Amino acid sequence: MNLKSYYTDFIKNKALELGFISCGISESGFLQDEIGRFENWLKNNYHGKMSYMERNFDKRLDTTKLVEGSKSVISLLYNYYPEKKLDERNNFKISKYAYGKDYHFIIKNKLKILLNEMRNEIGDIDGRVFVDSAPILERAWAKKSGLGWIGKNTNLISKKTGSFFFIAEIIVDIELNYDNETKDYCGSCTACLDACPTDALYEPYKIDASKCISYFTIELKEQFPEELKKDFNDWIFGCDICQDVCPWNKFSKPNNEPLLKPHKDINEYTKKDWIEMTDEVFKVVFKESPLKRAKYKGLKRNINYASQQI
């Protein structure tokens, strides 16, 4: 076995030991196939008020500009599918990824451990770790690394595990063995498009994020537009509808990460508890939660809107 193969196997084995469910590797560089798609998406204002998507355009498409001298993009998947869903009877809904503690800290810590293990084994590696916090087209790189295909709901989907996972990257300056892309297995299925209540999935493989329930409940910082008359189906933070109906998610298996388990209080929440929640309670219960991103004011706005739809 040559050194490149040895290092590649070492990285993938260590990733599995750290709890990642998949690891794929591709050559760092320019995403030629994505430039037209991304430009049109921005041009049509499908990103809504997410102005940060317009910044660092070159870096989003070229990882060698994000990490100078980089040779490889290591893409990793981390399962967040829960052992059981929160009780939805007389309750509002939050995305499964937000049940437990903020995934950024959980996964970034594991990525740093993996990078340190690589340096101990391989030597002086220049590299950076990324978890949904930098201008990088994560799904495109995961697809290029053979971890799945971009489905009609625009999520990365794996034949083995569905789509309930976080995507992360380590970009490094060493050459490794690169994986091949997998094929698209969506077939003629349109379950996600049919189920989307806001028509955010306006065509297969295309999303108007400015119409997505996740956009309204997380990204939009101002009041909902006056003309909005859509039923959010009780979602107050994020939305899992297009994933819940995807047939490939019948292969999803519960994660075994204790930090992703729901806070003990929200296991028993009802709509009344959400509606009556105070700022003080919010700060205690969601101190280390992804829900902090909406802030108390934003979450109350979402709850008020969902309450009016009842």
Give CA separation, 235 vs 42, 94, 167, 257, 302, in Å: 26, 6, 23, 24, 8
Pull the structure tokens for residue 231: 């039923």
> Mapping DSSP to helix (H, G, I), strand (E, B) and coil, where does residue 150 land?
strand
Residues 6+ apart with CB under 8 A from 157: 148, 149, 150, 151, 163, 185, 186, 246, 248
Which residue is it, tokens 């201008």? 135
Q: Which residues contact 153 (CB under 8 A, 6 or more apart)?
A: 163, 192, 193, 196, 201, 207, 242, 243, 246
Using DSSP's 3-state secondary structure scheme, residue 219 falls into helix
Helices 3-17 and 103-122: angle between axes, nearest 10 degrees: 150
Cα 227–230–234 angle (5° rounding)? 135
Distance CA 123, CA 174 (A): 10
**Is 33 tagged catalytic?**
no
CA proximity to 201, closest of 185, 189, 190? 190
CA 308 to centroid of chain Cα atoms: 29
Given its phi and psi angles, is residue 88 left (phi above 0), alpha (psi -120 to 50 degrees) or beta? alpha
**Could you say which of 132, 173, 184, 244 is catalytic?**
132
Where in the chain does DSSP place strands (E)? 22-27, 72-79, 93-94, 127-130, 149-150, 156-157, 165-172, 235-237
Angle at Cα 140 formed by Cα 78 and Cα 26, nearest 5°? Answer: 80
What residues are labeled active site?
Answer: 132
